[in-house]
Chain A
Amino acid sequence: MAPARSNSLKISPKAIAWIDIAAIGAWGILLLEYWFTQKLSLLIHPSYNPLSFISGILLLTIAAYRAWTVVNQSRSKQPLPIVPHLSLLPNGVGSILLLGVAIAALFITPQPFNSTTAIQRGVGEIITNTQVKPQSFRAMTKPENRSLVDWIRTLQVMPEPDTYIGQKVKVKGFVVHPDNFSPQYFRITRFIVTCCAADAYPISLPVRLREGDRSSYKPDSWLDVEGTIIVETLANQRQLVIQANTLKPVPQPDRPYDY
């Protein structure tokens, strides 16, 4: 099946060999480039960075070795024994696809997930059901030093909102406008990644503005929120809310996800 189709493509075996080499090499370069420019943190958990780095080196080595053998082979004119292989895609098509994706990824920087994805992945989940397990739980942490994740973890252990009334809050995250909140409220949100972006899920706390409405804080804009904890009933649920004192716009952090 495969040879018939590959004939119709009319790419010489030598050209295919070089496209192969380019495709594998390009993926090697891509992995190393993402590692070097820290774009990997947009895609996977930092503990997998070494794996990507080593794979990048290996892919480049394979590409270089292949290039070397192809050059030598055409000099010596003695063909290597053909290793029969089972192919689903016609010869050359796979490599062109690989090469194309690698080049696209080198030129297009992946965007971190935003409020649309957050809403789609259930940003308004009942907070006591949040999915974060306390990995390092420190009860001694000062409330204002807790990050958004720390807050969610703390709530996981002690879900009663009244416990926290009056505590100071200072958290960083991006703005999400849930449909079921009145315009005085928005959610300050971050994504948690356990392995790669495919499993990212949002965590968030509602924020109440002192005055005005949320339209001056666009969805996806990053903010440092300072305020105190109050308890209100929002979307038919009694929950912890941040009463905002100051809202400072900040640039998107290098590592937009938390872990």
Chain B
Amino acid sequence: MEHFNSTFTLFLSLMIEAIPFLLIGVFFSGILTFFVSERQLLRWMPKNPLLGSLFGSCIGFLFPVCECGNIPVARRLMTQGAPASVAIGFLIAAPTINPIVFWATWTAFRDQPEIVFLRIGLSLAIATLMGFLFSLQSDLSPFLQPSLVTSLDARRKREQGRSVENSLLSSGTFFLGKSNNPLPTDDAQAMNTAMMEMVNQPIGLRIKLLVEGMAQELRELSAVLIVGSLVAAVIQSFVPREVVLGLGQDPVTSIVAMMTLAALVSICSTVDSFFALSFASTFTTGSLVSFLVFGPMIDLKAIGLLLTMFRPRAIFYLFAVAALLTFLAALVLNLFL
């Protein structure tokens, strides 16, 4: 019964803390869909994969979201045609590389400004590297959820159709006063995607669709968030924290302990620096930085959300690469600085 009580309290506190931030993410995702045209979006994006992922890592400054809000936006970036490097870079970096988190970390670690800059710098570097790594894979579809692949395929087909100008051969229809491209009627998905050029729709309809889309994403993502928070809460109330912290305090084990803690505790990146502060006196700088860098990238609560975008295998890769890079960076900090 006591376990039930503390699990329920933990679970609700995670949910209630996350909902406002999820709302922000869903809102930005809606704005991207209905108020930013794909062509504008793509024009800004560098074609070079490395620059692209660096660019993606910095978009967080425009869309300040935490790890509950980054997934709807990253997913939307992909369906809107952004290169994988940009979307992955954004996914990994946005929860850290944004003004709110910068300010919160600064407030918490004013006495140790190096932690603030190490957090931002390392997150940026790791996210850029990971975005670049994923862009080496020419076709990401084996990694993605089938529904996401379908809408990406629809996009690709439409673009090919345009460039090859085989439109005479495919069935379609025209709307008066709309573009000269036929609206494909033989493929429901493609039609939907074509209809998604929402920027040209009247503002009233766009607001209507914005709310509609927000409600839809909110419903879906918060249901997944429920599952994630529940897992995080159950594990936290059954595994004593001493077991995690007891992993050790030397240069290597302290990093492992803090990274495990980051994945388990699943608190939002906008507030995790205050939490990390409470360990500042007992843990090494490297391990604190690893907590602040790794936590926003991957945690239990967000794995559910990531599943709406990736297949489990890809999440495992993301998890492993992020963990490895963070660990190495923190180890260098602990041993050489």
Query: A residues bordering B, Cβ < 8 Å?
Result: 1-2, 20-21, 23-24, 27, 31, 34, 40, 42-44, 48, 51-52, 54-55, 58-59, 62-63, 65-66, 69, 80-89, 93-95, 97-98, 101, 105, 108, 110-114, 116-117, 120-122, 129-133, 156, 192, 194-199, 201
Most buried by B among A2, A31, A98: A98
Interface size in chain B (residues, C-beta < 8 A): 71
Most buried by A among B16, B147, B233, B241: B16
Residues of chain B within 8 A (CB-CB) of A40 are 16
Residues of chain B within 8 A (CB-CB) of A44 are 13, 16-17
Closest A residue by C-beta to B151: A84
**Top-4 shortest CB links A-B:** A94-B223, A131-B278, A197-B13, A195-B271
Chain B interface SS verdict (over half) = helix
**CB-CB contacts of B1-36 with A at 8 A, as 1s and 0s?**
011011011101111110110010000000001000
Contact status B20-A51, CB under 8 Å: yes
Contact status B215-A24, CB under 8 Å: yes
List the one stretch of B124-132, B157-165, B279-287 in contact with chain A.
B279-287
Q: Is B216 an interface residue (CB 8 A)?
A: yes
**A–B pairs, 7, beta carbons within 8 Å:** A43-B17, A83-B212, A85-B217, A86-B75, A117-B6, A122-B245, A198-B267
List the one stretch of B51-59, B88-96, B191-199, B323-331 in contact with chain A.
B191-199
Residues of chain A within 8 A (CB-CB) of B2 are 114, 116-117
Contact status A20-B9, CB under 8 Å: no
Contact status A98-B265, CB under 8 Å: no
CB of A84, distance to nearest CB on chain B (Å): 5
Query: B residues bordering A, Cβ < 8 Å?
Result: 2-3, 5-6, 8-10, 12-17, 19-20, 23, 33, 75, 79, 145-148, 151, 189, 192-193, 195-196, 208-209, 211-220, 222-224, 226-227, 232-233, 236-237, 240-242, 245, 265-268, 271-272, 274-275, 277-282, 307-309
Contact status A83-B307, CB under 8 Å: no
